[in-house]
Structure 1
């Protein structure tokens, strides 16, 4: 933009403002707003200027542009011109004429081409003539013809000092202006002008642009007439002790203590308000009713050395004073606005603009983008890299030097004052990359309270960043801090110790995964641990599982120790099914069944799709005799398909059916079992287990009728025996079937030993005896480690019924099966089966009474099943 164009803009805008003043000056002073007049009066009196509120000329002379519009609206409020004034005001806002006015008044503000066209648009609008704003049209024509009359110097400079201040006129970002901070600027302005907020803190690592953002906004505020209603003065105090340049660090003479800050405030108030206060307290008393904005730059110097002193100072400031802080450390009792690094495009634009302003030869877009990214988008690092580049260095070395200097300038003094736990956390995050509170507790062997305190200190210093996700809260180091710790470890012993711990954890976790994979543990299994589980949690859950598998009562101290470990970590795993299940299982062992139930239900809420907590809760209900509740849980698992024909869950499905039917039987709901098992033969892989419980229900039904209803008793026994006969023939001798078959054998023995049954139901009794005779030898071989059937066989052999096979096969104290008696006649050897291979094979392993082992093949069997 040419100098003449700026002069044209200045002339026309001055004449528009003067014409608007003339419009107000021709009006009646009694129509003006009293509150607005009082504000102007107080402002002029504070500056020591005479002001007659009854003189319309004095009012116009002391009034700023924004106030002029207010008075113009007052005068036109009851006339036909009101709509024209409102329209003119809307043009001022839409064309942002206030921005043009500020650019005219401030020598450091860039003046753009568009400013002239905005003012020309305003001056040429017909509303100017409708309002009779004299001289504006003529001023516009003169400007276009090149006839320019400069306005008075006092008009040009008038707005600069609208709000008294001591802000520096020149600052680091003045060469390029503030780039890429529009959203932060808007947010900071919103916070500063919010009457409910007294202290605002801009917090960010060194070089991120805190001071630049604060000064840029404050310079805008002092040039905005509307802000004079919020602040009567701005006091700026810097506590920056060092400035980073291409030549290295330069020391700055700044305030370091709270006393020096107070002295600087008194000096500034005396200067901008022409006062002569001797001490801070006198200034506070005189200006406690004035709205002052106090800006303290680089406050971390004071916070590091004496945080309590600042807090006491801030609390005792007058309520009408507002404080704006910039700091690398978070400030207590302040509204925090964190400043992040620049966005990629903004950082590249800053690099290009700064390089061009410094007179450098333009680089490629890729070069500027590379500089920005290698500087981690830090504004100070970018400017310092360009400064170094201008001294003749190449891009890589410029960036490397800048980053090293920035890291030490920004963080070194912060790290030096950290307590021991915070340094340990810093080193642990360096090693781990991304850390949670739980992982830090486990790596450093610290309590959650100690870790929380350390994280609080580190977060305040901007040394770590916090990231939240669905997986929880994690902490990371910024790239600059990582670079600094890489070349300057704060505690290498801790770093080595953490690395060793992590390595051990990962090794143990890999071993757990390998063992689980080798055992082919399915996902529904109560001991299953997902592979993506954190290493430390994986190890804890594995320890719980191992401890639970030991005999109950033999490891009470270990159980209690595990409970304490879980309590220490559960706050870090509040939404984890694994930890809830583990805690519940431990509580079961400790007989705290109510809290165990609550833990299982919490796990169900966290992972409603998982069958594990429901299954474990069902087992808990069964174990403590709450059978109806157990039935409900098992039934929900069956309904959700966890007992379907899928071969991957057959084992789980069998467990669910066993628990379900047992709970029904223990609830004396055997009729329900009979109703639900009518089609047991059609249940495929589950026919054996469902048939078993149908038989068990028949057996349960007859238990109470042995004395009162022999007919029903015999019917129930026969029904159960036929089912077992079918299962043994078609499905073999499974553990659950054998258990319930033994119970039926006991009932048969008890019943057919009674004379009234052998007389009245001879044929039925013979069928029942045949059933027992056909299977008791096989069953006895399978359960010989806990059950001896000698007494049962002896008792059955004494039943006097013609055709009783037991009477024929019982010799002395021994029971000999039919096949065995035949074998003895053929001089064969009697053996016991030692091993039945799981797969369908045609051989068995056996051992004789003399201890000799035999290999038996199906092709060699005679008269055998």
Structure 2
């Protein structure tokens, strides 16, 4: 049976989508003449970027997309396949802002250092996909046989990854050869760049990637994922929030699209960017609201970030239309123990040590030293927990504020907040008492306790609000002594006075 010609197939898909040639042309940013020529077979060598625009404009499923690409392949020069490398790559709808250093670093890793597997990691909304697209477009001329972009967003079954790659390459199923073998054969002697977007929910398919790298010596792989693949060939490029200058530039650019006359030079723009952790997705979601809100009012509304950061563009995946969904995507991929730790970590303010996390998250439960470390490491891998090295060389962990708000919401929903708040306050009271018992001259301990001032204050607020007088007096006494030595006399006296007044009121009630 003769395969359906490309032009007839394009027309069939267009009509099934309920589009005229003019409507399809407008959606795909093409001319109506170009669509007409393709359907009538007058344009016999459609470019792959044109095909990508058309398939996205018609919202084709993966199988339909692969069929359309395969139908176009006979129109490509058969005798000179090397002259027309296979390039299946989306075109980004907006300019990339503030990632020049990361792009340069990635290009150096791929071109100069010949890294076989480059994984761009980072939290949801930090811009991994957009950066990978920029890298890929810069590398288009570097791979003689082409490159292919494979979006794994909708997959949950890792066993389907080889099939999804095969479809992107236009390979057809063969009864006697599994998709993994077909893909391996396709890449065997090719200089090719394979790109996987959103690998985190199919991490066990990393074995398939490892097999390709071993079997196909000229293949290089670029991955975006909230967690690394943990393969020997892997080089991570960890994407962090934008610099303040880049964040402000991004906000201004996006805000002026919806409000061209907006005065985006106000100092409040920088404050807004800080409120949303300088995450590109959060900045874009916030900027969309300037159509109806002034900048000061927008800043005020951002006190409830998760509820407010909604309404992303229609052509974004659902998980990227709100910050809540972007974070929920990562949270739902965690096993139960890691979910519980993540929720509990929302209690901390200003960061925490591994010892603090272990004490509060495990509580009285027995655990081995390796369990706490492996759990926090898994949350770092999942890009939900950030880690930095302090001046004394010790790691300190924290959650980005918008992520911490989501974790706190889940903690309340699980009915665990009160228990973990108690553990948190008890831990920091004991920590301060221990520092006092060690005595003066222990500069390292004092510096460590000073770094925990935000946690001390949070514990004091909680103890005062709950009327936990004994615990509150312990915290006020020992953190108060620290603050007195640091010249913060008013804060030390204020907390001690509050707790003594609460104690006196409780005594009067008892009498």
Same topology, TM > 0.5? yes
Partner of 1:474 in structure 2?
A: 396
CA distance in 2 between counterparts of 1:378 and 1:499 reads 28
Q: What's the offset of the Cα at 1:328?
A: 1.5
TM-score (norm: length of structure 1): 0.36
Could you tell me how far apart the structure 1 residues matched to 2:389 and 2:347 are?
20
Tell me: higher relative CO, structure 1 or 2? Use CA pairs within 8 A at least 6 residues apart: 2
Change (3 A) 1:450 1:491: farther
> Are 1:386 and 2:416 counterparts?
no
Encode CA deviations 1:583-635: one digit per residue, 9 max, x unaligned.
xxxxxxxxxxxxxxxxxxxxxxxxxxxxxxxxxxxxxxxxxxxxxxxxxxxxx
Aligned counterpart, 1:418: 334
Change (3 A) 1:398 1:216: farther
What is aligned with 1:403? 309
- Aligned partners of 1:206 and 1:409 also within 8 Å: no
1:204 aligns with 2:122: yes
Aligned residue number for residue 329 of structure 1: 227
1:384, distance to aligned residue in structure 2 (A): 1.9
Spell out, residue by residue over 1:443-473, the C-alpha distance to the aligned partner (whole angstroms, 9 max, x if none).
Answer: 3343321101101210111110011123311
Judged with a 3 Å threshold, the aligned counterparts in structure 2 of structure 1 residues 395 and 453 are, in CA distance, closer, same or farther, namely same
Count of equivalent residues: 345
**Aligned residue in 2 for 1:297:** 197
- Note closer, same or farther for the CA distance 1:439–1:194 as it changes in structure 2 (3 Å cut): same
Superimposed CA distance per residue, residues 468-513 of structure 1 (whole angstroms, 9 cap, x where no aligned partner) = 1233111111112111123332775654334323433444455566
Aligned to 1:374: 275
The alpha-carbon distance between structure 1 residues 358 and 217, as it changes in their structure 2 partners (threshold 3 A), is: farther
SS of residue in 2 equivalent to 1:289: coil
| Structure 2 contact 255–290 (Cα < 8 Å) conserved | no
Pairing 1:636-785 to 2, within 5 Å after superposition: none
1:485 aligns with 2:407: yes
The offset of 1:316, in angstroms, is 4.0
The structural deviation recorded for 1:299 is 1.2
- In structure 1, the residue matched to 2:418 is 496
Distance 1:391 1:237, change over 3 A: farther
For 2:347 and 2:300, the matched residues in 1 are separated by 27
Deviation at 1:344, TM superposition (A): 0.8
| CA deviation vs aligned residue, 1:807-861 (integer Å, no higher than 9, x gap) | xxxxxxxxxxxxxxxxxxxxxxxxxxxxxxxxxxxxxxxxxxxxxxxxxxxxxxx
Answer with 277-286 or 334-343: which moved more: 277-286
* C-alpha displacement of 1:188: 1.1
Cα distance change, pair 353–452 in 1 and its aligned pair in 2 (3 A): same
Determine if the alignment matches structure 1 residue 464 to structure 2 residue 385: yes
Mapping for residues 160-179 of structure 1, pairs under 5 Å: 163-169=85-91, 171=92, 174-175=93-94, 177-179=95-97
Cα distance change of structure 1 residues 315 and 184 upon mapping to structure 2, 3 Å threshold: same
Per-residue deviation, residues 770-797 of structure 1 (Å, max 9, x unmatched): xxxxxxxxxxxxxxxxxxxxxxxxxxxx
Are residues 475 and 353 of structure 1, via their aligned partners in 2, closer, same or farther at CA, if it must alter by over 3 Å? same
Which of 225, 228, 245 is the matching residue for 1:345?
Answer: 245
The yes-or-no answer on 1:236 pairing with 2:266 is no
The question of 1:220 aligning with 2:110 is answered no
Of the three residues 172, 197, 206, the one matched with 1:310 is 206
Question: Is 1:287 aligned to 2:190, yes or no?
Answer: no
Aligned equivalents of 1:350, 1:258: Cα separation in 2: 35
Alignment partners' CA distance in 2, 1:513 and 1:200: 45
- Structure 2: which 5+ runs fail to align? 1-75, 311-320, 451-511
Q: Is the 8 A contact 2:277 2:400 kept in 1?
A: no
CA contact under 8 A between 1:407 and 1:484: conserved in structure 2? no
In the TM superposition, what is the alpha-carbon distance from 1:343 to its structure 2 partner?
Answer: 0.7
The whole-number CA distance in structure 2 between the counterparts of 1:371 and 1:358 is 17
| Pairing of 1:516-531 with structure 2 (within 5 A) | 531=446
Aligned-partner Cα distance in 1 for 2:444–2:301: 50
1:355 aligns with 2:261: no
- Partner Cα distance (1:354, 1:277) in 2: 44
> 1:310–1:365: structure 2 CA closer, same or farther, 3 Å change rule?
same
1:547-626 alignment, distance < 5 Å: none
Q: In 1, Cα distance between the equivalents of 2:122 and 2:407?
A: 19
Q: State the partner residue of 2:357.
A: 440
Please give the secondary structure, in 2, of the residue aligned with 1:165.
strand
CA distance in 2, matches of 1:499, 1:359: 43
**Could you tell me how far 1:193 is from its partner in structure 2?**
2.3
Matched residue, 1:431: 347
Distance in 2, Cα, partners of 1:515 & 1:453: 32
Q: Does the Cα contact within 8 Å between 2:347 and 2:408 map onto a contact in 1?
A: no
Residue in structure 2 matched with residue 266 of structure 1 by the alignment = 166
CA spacing shift, 1:286–1:398, aligned 2, 3 Å: same
Are residues 261 and 428 of structure 1, via their aligned partners in 2, closer, same or farther at CA, if it must alter by over 3 Å? closer
Q: CA offset at residue 386 of structure 1?
A: 2.4
Please list the CA deviations of residues 109-149 of structure 1 after superposition, one character each: whole Å capped at 9, or x if unmatched: xxxxxxxxxxxxxxxxxxxxxxxxxxxxxxxxxxxxxxxxx
Distance 1:162 1:187, change over 3 A: farther
Partner Cα distance (1:296, 1:513) in 2: 50
> Deviation at 1:368?
3.2
The whole-number CA distance in structure 2 between the counterparts of 1:507 and 1:515 is: 12
Describe the SS at the equivalent of 1:202. strand
Residues 690-735 of structure 1: CA deviation (Å, up to 9, x unaligned): xxxxxxxxxxxxxxxxxxxxxxxxxxxxxxxxxxxxxxxxxxxxxx
Q: Is the contact made by 2:244 and 2:278 (CA closer than 8 Å) also made in structure 1?
A: yes
- Cα 1:192–1:503 change in 2 (3 A) is same
Instruction: Render the CA deviation track for 1:151-207: whole Å, top value 9, x for unaligned.
Output: xxxxxxxxxx964311113x3xx33x1110000001111222256522111111111
In the alignment, is the contact (CA less than 8 A) between 1:342 and 1:378 conserved in 2? yes
How far has the Cα of 1:430 moved from its partner?
2.3
The answer to whether the 8 Å contact 1:466/1:473 transfers is: yes
Tell me if structure 1 keeps the 8 A contact 2:282–2:323.
no
TM-score by length of 2: 0.59
The equivalent of 1:453 in structure 2 is 374
Structure 2 distance, partners of 1:425, 1:276, is: 45
Q: CA deviation at 1:265?
A: 2.4
Give the superposition deviation at 1:411: 1.8
Aligned partner (choices 34, 48, 67) of residue 78 of structure 2: 48
Three-state SS of the structure 2 residue aligned to 1:481 is helix
Between the aligned partners of 2:440 and 2:408, the Cα distance in structure 1 is 44
